């Protein structure tokens, strides 16, 4: 039996949601609103939120008048997100490396560093190929990733976070390809250890990947306010590309 990949196990736990429960929802709403305004998206446009988690970006996209499908590999996250379903907001469990059959979208969003989780770099291409296939002609792909260059330069090697009465001991390292975050904690007299692993992809990596698979990069931004991207100083790497 094939063992689960790290993100399948960790993202489906209640501990993951405890550790990250204080994410800035207002910032996320503002970012999504900025994107929708920049792209000049019309009401009832069909969009996909790829790797949607519990659906916070999907919900905002829908509140802005778009028809939204949010998909994620985590069954627990999707079960939570389904509580918010309407006629124009749906959620499904889905592996981002695969095509959603019989669906097409004007825009596909992949937000909050939900890319590059895989052992095999070829899986990145599988994701991009699936996105290309699901987009309408001249459709738009929006990627929001960490700025790996700044992240590596400012990597915090260790810290303690206390959430829901649990001491999360976090260590980080960079091995030249991946950024690792090891999370150790004790709960109910049981010890747990999870490791997040994200490929430290940079702008040139995405350029190669997108151009090779028939995308044209139109814009790069460096933060949620859509200011220009600076490799040394920007907090984010946001790419807007069009399907050729």
Reported as a single tens digit per residue, the pLDDT across 196-235 is: 999 999 999 999 999 999 999 999 999 999 999 999 999 9
Residue 219: CATH number of its domain = 3.40.50.150
pLDDT score at 3: 65
Is position 205 within any domain?
yes
Q: Which residues of 102-123 are buried (b: 16+ CB within 10 A; e: fewer)?
A: eeebbbbbbbbbbbbbbeeeeb
Is position 191 within any domain?
no
Beta strands 215-221 and 190-199 are unpaired
> Which helix H or strand E contains 146, and what residues bound it?
strand 135-146
Is position 162 within any domain?
no
pLDDT score at 190: 96
SS (H, E, C) 151-189: HHHCCCCEEEEEECCEEEEEEEEECCCEEEEEEEEEECC
Span 109-123, pLDDT tens digits: 999 999 999 888 899
Is position 117 within any domain?
yes
Domain that holds residue 130: 6-150+197-243
Tally of domains within the chain: 1
22 pLDDT band (50/70/90 cuts)? confident
Q: How far is CA 235 from the centre of its chain?
A: 15
Is position 155 within any domain?
no
């Amino acid at each position: 039996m094939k063992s689960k990949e790290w993100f399948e196990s960790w993202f489906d736990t209640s501990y993951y949601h405890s550790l990250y429960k204080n994410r800035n929802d207002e910032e996320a709403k503002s970012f999504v609103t900025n994107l929708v305004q920049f792209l000049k998206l019309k009401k009832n446009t069909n969009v996909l939120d790829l790797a949607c988690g519990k659906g916070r970006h999907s919900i905002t996209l829908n509140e802005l008048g778009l028809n939204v499908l949010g998909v994620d590999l985590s069954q627990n996250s999707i079960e939570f997100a389904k509580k918010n379903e309407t006629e124009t907001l749906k959620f499904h469990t889905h592996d981002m490396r695969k095509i959603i059959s019989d669906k097409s979208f004007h825009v596909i969003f992949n937000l909050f560093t939900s890319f590059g989780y895989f052992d095999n770099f070829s899986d990145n291409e599988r994701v991009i190929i699936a996105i290309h296939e699901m987009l309408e002609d001249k459709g738009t792909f929006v990627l929001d990733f960490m700025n790996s260059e700044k992240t590596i330069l400012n990597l915090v090697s260790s810290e303690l976070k206390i959430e829901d009465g649990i001491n999360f001991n976090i260590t980080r390292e960079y091995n030249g390809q991946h950024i690792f975050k090891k999370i150790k904690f004790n709960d109910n007299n049981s010890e747990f250890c999870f490791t997040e692993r994200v490929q430290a992809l940079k702008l040139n990596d995405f350029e190669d990947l997108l151009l090779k698979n028939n995308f044209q990069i139109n814009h790069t931004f460096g933060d949620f306010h859509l200011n220009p991207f600076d490799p040394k100083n920007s907090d984010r790497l946001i790419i807007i590309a069009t399907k050729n």
